[in-house]
Structure 1
Amino acid sequence: MYEGPVQNLIDELGKLPGVGPKSAQRLAFHLLQAEPESVERLRSALQAVVDGVSYCEVCGTVAAGERCRICSDPRRDPTLICVVEEPKDIEAIERTREFRGLYHVLGGALDPLNGIGPNELRIAGLMRRVGQEFEGEEIAEIIIATDPNTTGEATSTYLARLLRPFPELVVSRLASGLPMGADLEFADELTLGSALSGRRILSGGPSQPTRSGGVLRPEQTEAPERQPEPQLAPQSSPDLSEVEEPRGVTVPHRP
């Protein structure tokens, strides 16, 4: 135990996520040995976060104004919303450069054991966005991108059930499975099972298969109406009595 302000600093640093007692002690002594200007810049940055950073009124991520840079960008697709748990998840998806829609931050995941229910998350805000137009456009698809764990899957199932009354709205879930560059033999059962259930067709078969129990099945299409077979006019049987019998072969005659 250290005395006075040093121990107080270690205790406060130890409350940060991912920082243990040893790491907090190293950070505290690093700050003690740093230049006063560096410590002042850190203090100013922390104070600016407390005083000047708010949350976007549309998606709920951190922003410097009323709206974040993504919700303010007219080039984004307002009909597509990706639902994530935390603001840091937005940056992870943005690094892929594959998504050009908007986001909605829940602020966590459903966890009844820790007292986190629907009222503690921004689920009501999501339902309001679905029920109204944004920039004159109706939402066409909701992509649920919660974490692939117990709480994330529970949140995904809950949201899918809430959004079921909107028949025109497409609700999808991020695929999960084998990571790029991974060896199949080292994959656990849950990851491998998820990869099998979410597999995609590369060639052949219907263009949009339906999945049932993890098995790809072709779409049930209506069988075309069977056209009636054309009726052939009855042909009269030839009169075999007038046919010359070949030699050595007896042709039976109708009575």
Structure 2
Amino acid sequence: MKKIIALTIFGLFVLTSISFAGSNVKGAVINKSNVKDAANIAIGQDNKANMGSVKIKNSSVKGAVINQSNVKNAANIAIGQSNKANMGTVNIEQSAVKGAVINKSNVKDAANIAIGQGNKANMGSVNIEKSAIRGAVINQSNVKNAANIAIGQGNKANMGSVNIEQSAVKGAVINQSNVKDSANIAIGQGNKANMGSVNIEQSAVKGAVINKSNVKNAANIAIGQGNTANMGSVNINNSAVKGAVINQSNVKDAANIAIGQGNTANMGSVEIE
């Protein structure tokens, strides 16, 4: 295991992202990168493309995890097989974090696409999977004039959202993202498209769950098979929450569509199953 002790890590200008795997970090992890007029692409087989993001996997962090990246006029694409594309995002997998997880990224005029098989495209979001967080989870990203698409098979597209799966969070979960003039689409098979939403699955949260997102002039679509499209919503599935669940989202001039088979489309809603 890599050991990184008592330090604060910055990604400035040169580094567009910070990535840890199998590490022990004692100190804050901070990414303040600026990305403009750029393309970051991983094409065939395992894939993974991170731009203006923080990615933590199989690691332990004792300190806050903060992403304050600015991404403009950029494309971040992972094309064929396992996929995963993160833009202006905090992505935590199979890790333990003792500290707040905060994403304050700004994404403008950008496309973030994961095309064939495993999929998953995260833009201006916090994505937590199989992890333990002791601290608040806060997403305050701004997404404008952007497309975030995961096309064929596993799917899942998160834009201006907090997505928590198979995890334990001791602290509030807050989404205050602003999404404008954007499209968030997951096309064929597993589907699920989250825009300006909080999505919690198979998880335990001890703290309030609050969504205060603003969505304007936007489309959020999940097309064929599993479906589920959440816009300006809180979706809690097979989870335990000890705290208030509050949705104060504002949705204007928007379309939220789930087309063929499993379906379910939530707009400005709270759904608890």
| Alignment TM-score, normalising by the size of structure 1 | 0.29
Which structure carries more relative contact order (alpha carbon 8 Å, separation 6+)? 2
